[in-house]
Structure 1
Amino acid sequence: MGLMFRKRKKYGPLVLNFTENGFSSWSIRIGRWSWNSRAKAHRVDLPGPLSWKQDKSRSRA
């Protein structure tokens, strides 16, 4: 397993994610809530090391 390059640029609530191949995805983070364009998932940070995630692409059955 080799090293992986990952970089994040933050512009207020907007976060741009880059890998060694270039632009990867973008996210919006407002308080404890966030949404990621690649995973299309909502995430809420809970107290301690916990978080809750709702994956939109898998919730439709």
Structure 2
Amino acid sequence: MGIQFRKRKKYGPVILHFTENGFSSWSIKIGRWSWNSNTRAHRVDLPGPLSWKQDKSRA
């Protein structure tokens, strides 16, 4: 496994994700809730190291 380049840019609640090939996905985070355009998953941060995730499968 080689070294991977990953970078995030935050613009308020919107986060842009970049890899060595350029733009990869975007996500939005409001409070403890977040959603990612690539995985289409909702995530809620819970107290401590826990989180809850609901996957949305692509049809």
Which bin holds the TM-score, normalised by the shorter protein?
over 0.9
Q: CA deviation at 1:19?
A: 0.2
RMSD: 1.4
Structure 1, unpaired ranges of 5+: none
Q: CA deviation at 1:57?
A: 0.9
Measure, in 2, the Cα distance between the counterparts of 1:12 and 1:51: 22
Structure 2, unpaired ranges of 5+: none
Give identity over the alignment, percent.
83
TM-score when scaled to structure 2?
0.95
Measure, in 2, the Cα distance between the counterparts of 1:4 and 1:32: 28
Cross-structure match for 1:9: 9
Cross-structure match for 2:20: 20
Counterpart AA for 2:16: L
**4+ residue runs of structure 1 moved beyond 4 angstroms?**
none
Matched residue count? 59
